[in-house]
Structure 1
């Protein structure tokens, strides 16, 4: 997530420079042959290009709205996780009692730390690359990613879980395919044991199980976005329309600038580049918003949100050695 007021123009131009170079080449070639070789037949009427531009603008706007909705839904999911995590913390503190204060404190710590382990496992699962994601396949995304680290790719899940789980629980979870799911199952099993041993009232058990159910719902919502891409047919047609438009733009501008007089036709190059850049940038921005968990600069900052939850929950345990909040690097918060 970008935390500045906006992307700087220099930053944006650097991110889109491959498209700019491509636009320069496809504008230079027809202009050169039109003016130097005298191939006047290269100029085509503007009307069909305008019609293609209208269609491209429509489909680009549709895609950007849809991808923004995917990103915003992902942010709402993590916002709900924050709220329910705080609810989980106060339920653990207020509902679970034991005659021995130290035992009670250890039970509270175990349930809260296991929840932090769930957050950790969930964000690692949501960062696993998918074949339709763009962060690794697009050169400009790979280059820009050098400006910030993705915590889930810089560390190992097994090591990250060590502070939050007992060794037996950690080994059990690491042997499972869906670690986050099994951590919630462990929580439920432990609550049942507490209820059977008299440490948790049945009504309170039901309330806490409802919160665990909410965590399953949030996890499933995140997995739905992660595992179901923006429909490929819409992504493809958007790409095809915009590429067709930028290829035809210089041909439509040749006659228009030639009417202005000798040598004015060379203005075709900068003007077709500017118009083409607008459309290719719309495509690139929409593409970078398609997958809000892939690890791009525009992603949901799951590591930072998880750290916020961890600080709040450990503060409820009256711990003093709290971890610091994660800070953005080059204005990118992950």
Structure 2
């Protein structure tokens, strides 16, 4: 997530510069042939190009609107995770008590139970964000211009540290080994939470009503995880992404020929103004296509992702404060205006 006022024009130009080189080349070649070899037949009437441009503009707008919806849904899901996590913290702290316990626990052991349930939830957050950062074949972070921007500007926390190094902060060695042996680790952590709630119910540390309420929060976590997995594992439909790319590229290729028709009317060397004109118009369409592409997958580790690492850290700070802990981790800060 970009935390500044806006991206700088310099960043956009550097990000799209390789495409701009090709656009410049596509504009210079027909203009040179038109001017030096007098190939006037290269000039194409503007009407068919404008029709293609209109279609490209519609499909680009449709795609950008749809990809923004994916991003916004992802942000809403993580907003729900934040709220449900805080609810989980206060419910664990206030529902799990000795009030109806068959064998009351000493205060320190009761606090240890609270810590187990809350720390295991932080393990769920950790496992979930690592799963969401796993690459998919349709994602765009492997492309050269995206990878180059990331290497120069920011780092993805889940790529800097292994899950195996983080989980021991929150789980016992037995639970860690159990979870790491599973495929969907986040789902299995919630299963462990439910199993402990069942044991607490049998011990009388929670009653039936409170047990149902806590299980309801676990159900919410499953729903929220499922929503994130739906966005992660189902790409923006490839047919729409493909036709968007085809239309934009066709328009960019034909643009210089239409500009020759318009600037050729000026006569003489003024036809060379078609080169910067083609470059500017084509760059606008290419940049819009790139923006839609960069918004498609809100968990892939791009500069426009939902900041799930920062949100997880915020939740961790809130929950550990509920446990009255003092040695809290710092909130994650933006790096070059990029917060992940």
Q: Give the TM-score normalised by the residue count of structure 2.
A: 0.97
Q: Aligned ranges for residues 1-334 of structure 1 at < 5 Å?
A: 1-98=1-98, 99=104, 100-136=106-142, 138-146=143-151, 147-334=153-340
CA-CA distance at 1:86 after TM superposition: 0.2
Over residues 201-237 of structure 1, what are the superposed CA-to-partner deviations in whole Å (9 max), with x where a residue is unaligned? 1100000000000000000000000000000000000
- The gaps in structure 2 that reach 5 residues or longer are 99-103
Over residues 64-98 of structure 1, what are the superposed CA-to-partner deviations in whole Å (9 max), with x where a residue is unaligned? 00000000000000000000000000000000013
Q: Give the TM-score normalised by the residue count of structure 1.
A: 0.99
Correspondence for 2:101 = none
Distance, in Å, in 2 between the alignment partners of 1:13 and 1:324 is 34
- Residue correspondences, number: 333
Distance, in Å, in 1 between the alignment partners of 2:261 and 2:301 is 45
Query: Secondary structure at the residue paired with 1:259?
Result: helix
Distance, in Å, in 2 between the alignment partners of 1:92 and 1:71 is 31
Over residues 90-129 of structure 1, what are the superposed CA-to-partner deviations in whole Å (9 max), with x where a residue is unaligned? 0000000133111110000000000000000000000000
Distance, in Å, in 1 between the alignment partners of 2:213 and 2:144 is 49
Over residues 252-302 of structure 1, what are the superposed CA-to-partner deviations in whole Å (9 max), with x where a residue is unaligned? 110210111211110110000000000000000000000000000000111
Query: Secondary structure at the residue paired with 1:80?
Result: helix
CA-based RMSD of the aligned residues comes to 0.6
Query: Secondary structure at the residue paired with 2:268?
Result: coil
- The gaps in structure 1 that reach 5 residues or longer are none
TM superposition outliers: structure 1 runs of 4+ over 6 Å: none
